[in-house]
Amino acid sequence: MTELELKYGCNPNQKPSRIFVENGDLPIKVLNGKPGYINFLDAFNGWQLVCELKRATGLPAATSFKHVSPAGAAVGLPLDDTMRKIYFVGDQELSPLACAYARARGADRMSSFGDWIALSDVCDKSTAMLIKPEVSDGVIAPGYTDEALEILKAKKKGNYNIVEIDPAYKPDPLERKQVFGITFEQGRNEFVIDEHLLENIVTENKELPQSAKIDLIVALIVLKYTQSNSVCYAKGGQAIGIGAGQQSRIHCTRLAGQKADNWLLRQHPRVMALPFVEKIGRADRDNTIDVFISDEPDEVIAEGRWQKFFTEKPVPLTREEKRAWLDQQTGVALGSDAFFPFGDNIERAHRSGVSYVAQPGGSIRDDNVIETCNLYNMVMAFTGMRLFHH
């Protein structure tokens, strides 16, 4: 048995703490830093997520994890000019893996602050250069180029956590954890998520384009590693809104929908043209954008305060302007880790431009949910598979 001693567990008072495997060697090497208990929880869940995304789509994948749920996840599709601008990557050359991370980190920058990163492929210089200026706890990947490793080792005054994992590692098919001194055991969730899961389309509209299939697969794989209840909105090969750990499904749908709305509103021409002062910090910029597109923009443009953020006083979007912009949006995909019990979830999803839905089905009110989808000409597939994660 090999083990790695940790500073402490979830909290400083929880000692001793370690990670280990009972048979064989740990499949990881710590190349830099001293990752902690929560870091490794995020790292191992994130690694599984990106491996599944790559296996399902054939594209490099990245995820930004926080507190054992993804803040964002994406595959390596190219960025258009709008995405480059709202993700603040400029005109620098981006590898497919770097595109995946830009999307994963950029969808919900507030939630990704202080994230743990997981990459499906060897981290290259392009990806390391994107990670370099961000506030992040660490990264796990199957390897690092010499240039990437040198860049990442310089983060956090040389203390940035860098973990390399053996991509050939296969865990035991049974997994265990203890709660209150009692051991729980179950088979690992090895269920494969792919396009075959989307074949049972139950709505009148059955037109499911390839791009929507990719988005639904992204959403479902994200949900497989998100604390339940959970709902995920996706578009363009990335999660754009994740609602995790809510007791009510409609609250998941609302929370994730609000995040998706923020992602869509960040593309509004007035938001993209906000006149920020030259040396505003990344966190201040991101927080300011989030508040500016919220229902209380006066918090950042109050008399005497706006000069801290902007070179000139911006005009906030009215509620009517925001609604008009969101009403133009279509083509968003929505996944749920369990069935929708009422059509209110679909009503809320419609307000965020959802056109495609994947959920297990099996509610006694499935007819109501299908009817609501038909009202908005949505396509909905019943996957038949619940994806709870605890």
Other beta carbons within 10 Å of 258? 15
Where would I find the H helices in 71-166? 81-86, 96-106, 109-112, 125-131, 146-153
Q: Decide the pairing of beta strands 354-359 and 379-382.
A: parallel
Is 390 marked active-site?
Answer: yes
Alpha-carbon gap, residue 48 to 225, rounded angstroms: 8
Is 189 marked active-site?
Answer: no
Q: Which of 45, 229, 262, 345 is catalytic?
A: 229
Give the CA count within 13 Å in the CB-facing half-sphere of 34.
Answer: 6
Alpha-carbon gap, residue 222 to 244, rounded angstroms: 10
- Give Rg (Cα) of the chain: 21
Helix axes 37-57, 210-224, angle to 10 degrees: 150
Q: Are 130 and 150 in contact (CB under 8 A)?
A: no
Q: Which of 157, 170, 196, 390 is catalytic?
A: 390
Alpha-carbon gap, residue 224 to 284, rounded angstroms: 32
Alpha-carbon gap, residue 301 to 288, rounded angstroms: 10
Is 229 marked active-site?
Answer: yes
Q: Which of 54, 66, 155, 224 is catalytic?
A: 66
- Give the catalytic positions in this structure: 66-67, 229, 390
